[in-house]
Amino acid sequence: MRGTQAAVYDGDQPGTCTLEIAKTGAGAAIRAATGSEHACREYCGGNGSFEGDYLPLAAACEPTAVQRTRTAFQSLYDRKDYAKAEATLAPLYRSCLATSSFSDEGAIRNDYAITQHRLGDDAECLQALAPYRGDANRSDEAIADGMSPAIVDDYLGVIRAARTNLKLCGHGAAG
């Protein structure tokens, strides 16, 4: 790394992809340097990109911690101990969504929403699912049109769960 630029190596030699790395308030923004956009795209294929804003991962948001928390949540939820289930899942909902994959975020939001519904708080349920309202009102075909085949099934799984939960929580237009 030199200044704000870093070369991506091909084996033990620097390749033609150069990254611009800039500190942000909470993490770092990474972009392809001007002139190396095409070379950098070669590393990710047609459906991927490394460009974006990167945040540090809190200990509670590490994959093993998330899995442990979600397993504990599911056990409590299955026993209908909704208050404890909510208390278990709430830290993930409040602290980990920004650093979660879209599928993990969708699972957490849907679990949190249905738990809020079970606790009688449909307003909070709807708030948790707000990012999915637009797509919940579209057909699967309309959503999938133009979406990468690599992620469409996972995303539709999130949206289908959100449609069900939105209906349960009183958003009649879902579906």
What span, in angstroms and rounded, lies between the C-alpha atoms of 90 and 87? Answer: 5
> What is the mean predicted confidence (pLDDT) over 53-65?
92
How far apart (Å, rounded) are the C-alpha atoms in residues 6 and 29?
A: 13
- The domain locations on the chain are 5-54, 59-168
Averaged pLDDT score across all residues of the chain = 91
Q: What's the pLDDT tens digit per position in 82-99?
A: 999 999 999 999 999 999
Cβ neighbour number for residue 100 with a 10 Å cutoff: 18
Query: Shortest CA distance to 40 belongs to which of 49, 29, 53?
Result: 49
pTM for the predicted model, two decimal places? 0.79
- Identify which of 135, 125, 126, 68 has the alpha carbon closest to the alpha carbon of residue 96: 68
Q: Which helix (H) or strand (E) holds 53?
A: strand 52-54
In this structure, the dihedral spanned by the alpha carbons of residues 154, 158, 163 and 167, taken in order and rounded to 10 degrees, is 150
Strand ranges (E), 60-157 = none
pLDDT of residue 161: 98
Q: For the range 119-122, what are the long-range contacts, defined as Cβ-Cβ under 8 Å and sequence gap of 24 or more?
A: 119/82, 119/83, 119/86, 122/169, 122/170
Q: What is the mean predicted confidence (pLDDT) over 40-64?
A: 83
* Cβ atoms of residues 129 and 169 within 8 Å: yes
pLDDT in tens, 151-165: 899 999 999 999 999
